[in-house]
């Protein structure tokens, strides 16, 4: 819990941009999750730095919650402050074949920006849900291309808010579905992304191809958190789960998608516990049948009962 004095200081700093005991199910794509002790949406870099400094002073943990994809919050809720960068959405084209985008920019706005201006390089990410900060933290992508291929530099705020750094690609260590090397609690503010000029019609055609592929293979019309498991070496998590006969498997209102077995969907009233039970069953059955240990791609946050 957040001490009363810390709550008062948070209100003084952020005003209406902070709320307490907020149900996270409203802010996660799977529509599950218990309350966050606090949720804050700082309006600029100064407020964000002040928020991080305040958290450091009181020893309050903080996390950045993007668009809520690849995230499950347990029903018991999550400690500390969840930070939403909804005011950090600026995108700017630069003359050196790059664009600077803030971490809160949505996948839709990035795709639209590139499509209108004829900027090629990010088409592979069309339809990958979330915000730029989440894309980078997860090294989002497809088998042929990931964010690691286009990030030239990151602008990062230190965990206490005291220092802002520009880290070149050579100092970043991207891994499969992750980014290593940043101090825990650091906040990605923006990224410099490599693009190239192309005819808008060419960019549009590739964007449409990627969107069509996702629509054919992924359950986009129901709440999900995106891919649940990382693909194991030389294999695909979805195919292993399907081969285990688990497509359509249910626990409460959580269901393994019949369209893509590496997606768990919320049929209406699922709890985080329902989802976690399905994750546990899929891991156990696949491990028993194949000896392969599936590793979650989704981040699981919160208190355990």
Show which residues are catalytic: 177, 227, 297
CA angle 215, 221, 225 (to 5 degrees): 90
Cβ count near 252 (within 10 Å): 16
- The owner of tokens 């309350």 is 35
Q: How many CA atoms lie within 13 A of 201 on its CB side?
A: 0
Instruction: Give, as one character, the DSSP assignment of residue 151.
Output: E
Helix (H) or strand (E) holding 167: strand 164-168
End-to-end CA distance of the chain: 15
Question: Tell me, what DSSP letter sits at residue 230?
Answer: P
Paired with 30 in beta bridges are none
Nearest to 263 by CA among 300, 216, 235, 298: 298
Contacts of 120 (CB under 8 A, 6+ apart): 114, 195, 196, 197, 198, 202, 203, 206
- Diameter of the chain by CA atoms? 56
Q: Which residues pair with 300 in a beta bridge?
A: 72
- The strand pair at 299-301 and 71-73 is best described as parallel
Distance, C-alpha 27 to centroid of its chain: 12
Separation of alpha carbons 287 and 305, rounded Å:
26
- Do 177 and 230 meet the contact criterion of CB atoms below 8 Å apart? yes
Region for 294 from its dihedrals, namely left if φ exceeds 0, alpha if ψ lies in -120 to 50, beta otherwise: beta
């Amino acid at each position: 819990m957040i001490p009363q004095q810390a709550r008062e200081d948070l209100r003084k700093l952020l005003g209406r941009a902070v709320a307490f005991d907020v149900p996270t199910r409203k802010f996660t794509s799977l529509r599950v999750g218990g309350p966050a002790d606090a949720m804050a949406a700082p309006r600029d870099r100064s407020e964000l730095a002040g928020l991080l400094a305040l958290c450091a002073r009181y020893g309050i943990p903080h996390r950045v919650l993007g668009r809520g994809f690849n995230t499950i919050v347990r029903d018991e809720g999550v400690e500390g402050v969840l930070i939403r960068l909804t005011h950090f959405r600026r995108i700017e084209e630069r003359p050196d074949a790059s664009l600077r985008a803030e971490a809160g920019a949505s996948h839709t706005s990035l795709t639209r920006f590139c499509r209108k201006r004829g900027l090629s390089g990010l088409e592979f990410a069309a339809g990958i849900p979330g915000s730029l900060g989440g894309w980078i933290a997860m090294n989002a992508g497809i088998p042929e291309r990931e964010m690691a291929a286009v990030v030239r530099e990151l602008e990062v705020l230190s965990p206490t808010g005291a220092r802002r750094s520009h880290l070149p690609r050579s100092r970043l260590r991207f891994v499969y579905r992750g980014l290593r090397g940043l101090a825990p609690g650091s906040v990605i503010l923006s990224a410099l992304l490599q693009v190239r000029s192309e005819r808008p019609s060419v960019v549009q055609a590739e964007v449409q191809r990627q969107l069509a592929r996702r629509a054919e293979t992924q359950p986009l019309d129901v709440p999900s958190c995106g891919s649940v498991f990382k693909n194991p070496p030389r294999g695909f998590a979805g195919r292993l789960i399907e081969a285990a006969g688990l497509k359509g498997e249910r626990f409460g209102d959580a269901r393994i998608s019949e369209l893509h077995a590496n997606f768990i969907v919320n049929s209406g009233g699922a709890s985080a516990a329902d989802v976690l039970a399905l994750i546990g069953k899929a891991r156990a059955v696949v491990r028993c049948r194949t000896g392969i240990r599936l590793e979650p791609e989704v981040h699981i946050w919160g208190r355990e009962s």
